[in-house]
Structure 1
């Protein structure tokens, strides 16, 4: 009886935490595709400073060059030859937490390719 009660209490203790987990972030490939097509008006809506905007243009260009070098158009599963970690780290470093979450929301609202 004690084991059953303990298991039930443990289950109830864990379930609310699991229910409150944030949604999973899209894959790096999806975010890289979104980064390549994010227009200037989205950055303006996210209120990027002039420095942030300048840096994001460099990040977008680096992503574009990496994807072109990898011949990503022929591979539907990956947009770059690497895992995209460096590009996505750059995006996270340029944007504030709120801006990054806003950009993720924009990417999630886009129709899939």
Structure 2
């Protein structure tokens, strides 16, 4: 049995622009070595492909799959975590760590950045 403890500090950011159920998430498995982490955390608002790799660049934007819905802590991970990714909805662009490039906007047809 694996046991760990952690202290949660701060509040969870909300990337949704409209209140209610106007979004759809799906789960993807992300390998720690493939993810772009900040202090061991995959930040909310990171734009990822189906493998969990950050793709918010002009070259990789066409492979975008969705937007990470909540912070995911990889610090105590054994290598792979299940990450909730928003694939449909209205997203506050100001809540994202980096504004999406044009290729990402084109690839994410069911997400509106407001």
Q: Fold conserved (TM > 0.5)?
A: no
The TM-score with structure 1 as length reference comes to 0.25
Of Structure 1 and Structure 2, which has the larger fraction of its residues in strand? Answer: 2
Q: Which has the larger radius of gyration?
A: 1
Q: Which structure dedicates a bigger proportion of its chain to helix?
A: 1
Return the TM-score normalized by structure 2.
0.25
